[in-house]
Amino acid sequence: MPVSLPSWVRPSHLVVLLIAVLVAVACSGGDSDGGQVSNDLAADQEFRLRIAGDPSTFDPQLASYAEEISIAKQIFRGLFTYDADLNVIPSVAITVPTKDNGGITEDGLTYTINLRQDATWSDGVPLTAHNFVYAFQRLFDPEGGGQGYYFDFYTAIAGGEAFAYEDGSAEAVAVVALDDYTLEIELSRAQPTLPTLLALWPAAPLRGDLIDQYGDAWTEPGNLIGNGPFVLAEYAPEQRIVLESNPLYWGDDQPTLDTLIYKIIPEDSAALIAYENGELDMTAIPLADSSRYQGDSEQIRYAELETFALQYNHTQAPFDNPLVRQAFSRAIDREAYVSAIRSGVGQAAVGWLPPGMPAANPGVGIDLAFDADAAAGLLSQAGYTDGADFPDVTFTVLSDPTNDLTAQFIQEQLRQNLGINIDIESVEETVFFDRYFETDFQVTWLSWFADYADPENWLPQQFATDGAFNVLGYSNEDADALFEQAAVELDTTKRLALYDQAHRIIIADQAITPIFHPERNYLVKSHVAGLATTALDAEPGDWFTPSVQILETGSAPPASDPE
Amino acid sequence: MAAYVIQRILWIGPLLFAVALITFILMHQVPGGPWDRSKRLPPEALENVNQAYGLDKPLWQQFGDYALGLAQGDLGVSFRSSNRPVSDVLGDGIRVSATLGLLALALSTTAGVALGTLAALRKDGPADYASVALATVGASVPSFILGMLMLVTFTAYLHWLPSGGWGSAKQAVMPVLALSAWPTAYIARVTRASVLDVLHREYVRTARAKGLHERAVVLRHILRNALIPVLTVLGPVAAMLVTGSFIIEQLFAIPGMGRAFVTAISARDYGVIMGTTLFYTLVIILANLLVDVLYAIVDPRVRYGAADATRVDV
């Protein structure tokens, strides 16, 4: 029998451990900000942040990953945007249409939106309704936005789906300019969340003349003309992206910053050292370093709309049996998980909808929370008393140090509390997603992150029998009926109540087993003021970058102690 | 020798074609494709991008198209950022990696030969032990650890050097040192052994006997002969250094070839994988050719005829 070493003795883990110790020793040397922070603005309004990878595009219709989305949000502004509480507020539009103000017809199918007449592009050209018409036609174009991830969110717009599926045409997309400053959008089915979708980056206006002129090169610095608070000034692939404030920005949220620099630093610990050396104003705290920075004056920590869960293949034994899934849920001590594996950063989860999401309810799933005795009882009901005769199960995870530790934790919990032994399989990212979307696994570990704050983005797509992201093969007629009603229910209270009911069904069935809600854990220099975070950030504070200010350091006036 | 070199050069085309074919087949055999990421494209979008990149065609046709483009010098586009031609990705990466690599090569050759010679001439003395110890450390500490140690010391603790990036002399110091450690140790070891080997040859004794100055003995007689084995290892070492080290480039956030190559593999960026592999192949072929030519120059006994070229060692 081969002797297996404890996991932490593996070379890769040792290296991580060694580096954590080294960085800890080096960085414990006190304040790196170099002096007192005053209340005066610094002469140099430059905000430097770290991204881990190169954005593959600046095209707002193709931007799909955090760094791409975060940059697109600075360069473009759509009809609407969000306030600090994620309510939809006007941006290029004058008002948010409702039935009461006559902006939405009684059947909920036609939206009339009036635009500001003072909005311009960063090259001074006036921004009109025609720019939105062009952008929505391109959004569904198989050669434009139709190659991206997000156009699918907007297919309630009449003619959109047909164009994307290649038997429609651009002209048939039902977004029309009634005049230069009035836009009309017609839907083929009611979509109560349309205003919030129109506040997202894929719904930004675009310059058809420039895209025709430059082709694929339209997103290069100099060619890329946006209508947001910042413009793209420099792109050095794999090194940095520099944005500068847009002097022609027309919005009420005028930026204080002159320059926004995204430095590409792939290695987490190198980024932390860069931050400690004063080369960055903001960076994420690597998990291995989180206990060291807990309570640090430069730490910001806040909830995001994300849930990690055990996900089951419902089409095969043993996970086609709800009793087995329930037993798993009751066998896992989430509090212990968060403190042992996540250094206490995050919240234990028993429900799928994260706190802060409309219709989220902390009571959902409480009855299936950790309880080792109840877990053993459920497994025995399922016919596997004390884990006897339990089939071979492989737990498939995307290979990374945190996921590997997570898998070992879950494996140990199931062994202790249910008496079953599962195997762990750690798979490279590309292979993992290839297999995940083909449902080629028994049980796996993955999170879902909100694109927008509505349960519509979290329940029907994953759990409706014909949902676009129903990878698990879950099916429940009652839930399906609720999804159908909710999809077209225009009354918000009723709509959220329907989703709450569906959420309860899914958790009672343990379609997935939620384990925890992660949190953002960042370091921000004390000379950075006005960073306004939301649960829906791609990078911290990126909905409100114009409010960020850099304060003067070092030359603070002599301390006049208030005491 | 000219005929030999020409024949070797003519072999490059078929070799590249063979490598392209093998890489292409292997690349498509590996599970997962360029669009298998955490956000799965809707089925229609998947069809659209596959069409845009020609992935909807049969594999043999895709390879045919690629080979045809390649013959005309067209390496295609990156599958990750559609407006970046592979030649741009390579061009940017090579400039950075080659600069970094040549600096490291210069440093490690100078330091390695000096250390090795010193150790051999002062065999079993303190200088020998010191340089052997240094070489052992250099060979056994991974460059990632060495780089991290330097980062912690010179950036986090002393604040002398920037943490990474590329463009200034200060930014090059740590990556060049980290990258040079292993080749320095390797070259020093080979030099030491080789110098020890020639130290007691007759021609060295003759040189000394006819009263030549010690410096002339070492430089003209010992080193010139002792460097032949060193040259042999220098070819692969140069190819390795110049084409970029993923680990060093990743740690120091350097936009080089090594990082581009590994990122492309994990992202299944077919265009960049093909481009970088072919480029690496070319560099290794040329480095070996260069070393073979240098042999002839350094060692008068080596003579190439065209017939030898059938023995193509790449």
Residue type (1 letter), A50? R
Domain A306-517, what fold? Dipeptide-binding Protein; domain 3 (3.10.105)
- pLDDT attached to residue A30: 43
Domain boundaries, chain A: 306-517
Q: Cβ of A27 and B259 within 8 Å?
A: no
Lowest-confidence segment of A218-227, A298-307, A447-456, B120-129 by average pLDDT: B120-129
Put simply, the chain B residues between 136 and 175 with a CB less than 8 A from any chain A CB are 144-145, 148-149, 151-153, 155-157, 159, 162-166
Three-state SS sequence of chain B: CHHHHHHHHHHHHHHHHHHHHHHHHHHHHCCCCCCCCCCCCCHHHHHHHHHHCCCCCCHHHHHHHHHHHHHCCCCCECCCCCCCEHHHHHHHHHHHHHHHHHHHHHHHHHHHHHHHHHHHHCCCCHHHHHHHHHHHHHHHCCHHHHHHHHHHHHHHHCCCCCCCCCCCHHHHHHHHHHHHHHHHHHHHHHHHHHHHHHHCCHHHHHHHHCCCCHHHHHHHHHHHHHHHHHHHHHHHHHHHHHCCCHHHHHHCCCCCHHHHHHHHHHHCCHHHHHHHHHHHHHHHHHHHHHHHHHHHHHCCCCCCCHHHHHCCCC
Examine the pLDDT at B211 and tell me if it is beyond 80.
Answer: yes
- pLDDT attached to residue A354: 96
Mean pLDDT in residue range B270-297: 87
- Please write the tens of the pLDDT for every residue from B79-101: 887 778 899 889 989 999 999 99
In a domain, B59, yes or no: no
Q: Cβ of B148 and A276 within 8 Å?
A: no
**Closest CA–CA distance from residue B74 to any residue of chain A (Å):** 17
Put simply, the chain B residues between 231 and 250 with a CB less than 8 A from any chain A CB are 250
Shortest CA distance from A34: residue in chain B: B159
Mean pLDDT, chain A, rounded, equals 91
Q: Which domain holds residue B205?
A: 86-258
Q: What angle do CA B163, B167, B170 make, to 5 degrees?
A: 50
Q: Which residues of A fall within a CB distance of 8 Å from B44?
A: 142, 146, 164-166
Mean pLDDT in residue range B183-195: 91
In a domain, B172, yes or no: yes
Examine the pLDDT at A367 and tell me if it is beyond 90.
Answer: yes
Examine the pLDDT at B223 and tell me if it is beyond 80.
Answer: yes
In a domain, B65, yes or no: no
- pLDDT attached to residue B39: 81
Q: Cβ of B92 and A217 within 8 Å?
A: no
Classify residue A167 as exposed, middle or buried by CB count within 10 Å of its CB (0-12, 13-18, 19+): exposed
**Closest CA–CA distance from residue B11 to any residue of chain A (Å):** 35
In a domain, B221, yes or no: yes
Q: Cβ of B152 and A429 within 8 Å?
A: no
Q: Cβ of B259 and A238 within 8 Å?
A: yes
Per the structure, the count of domains in chain B is: 1
Examine the pLDDT at A23 and tell me if it is beyond 70.
Answer: no
Mean pLDDT in residue range A22-32: 52
- pLDDT attached to residue A382: 94
**Confidence band, pLDDT 50/70/90 cuts, at residue B134:** confident
**Confidence band, pLDDT 50/70/90 cuts, at residue A83:** very high
- pLDDT attached to residue A517: 97
- pLDDT attached to residue A35: 61
- pLDDT attached to residue B5: 86
pTM of the predicted structure, to 2 decimals: 0.89
- pLDDT attached to residue A8: 41
Residue type (1 letter), A47? F
- pLDDT attached to residue A131: 97
Examine the pLDDT at A50 and tell me if it is beyond 90.
Answer: yes
Size of interface A-B (CB pairs under 8 A): 145
Query: Which of A53, A165, A273 lies nearest to residue B152, judging by beta carbons?
Result: A273
Query: A357 or A7: whose pLDDT is higher?
Result: A357
- pLDDT attached to residue B312: 43
Interface mutation target, options B39, B272, B273, chain A, most CBs of A under 10 Å: B39
- pLDDT attached to residue A29: 44
Query: Which of A29, A146, A267 lies nearest to residue B250, judging by beta carbons?
Result: A267
CATH classification of the domain holding B203: 1.10.3720.10
- pLDDT attached to residue B188: 92
Q: Cβ of A26 and B149 within 8 Å?
A: no
Q: Cβ of A239 and B253 within 8 Å?
A: yes
**Closest CA–CA distance from residue A215 to any residue of chain B (Å):** 9
Examine the pLDDT at A484 and tell me if it is beyond 50.
Answer: yes
- pLDDT attached to residue A20: 60
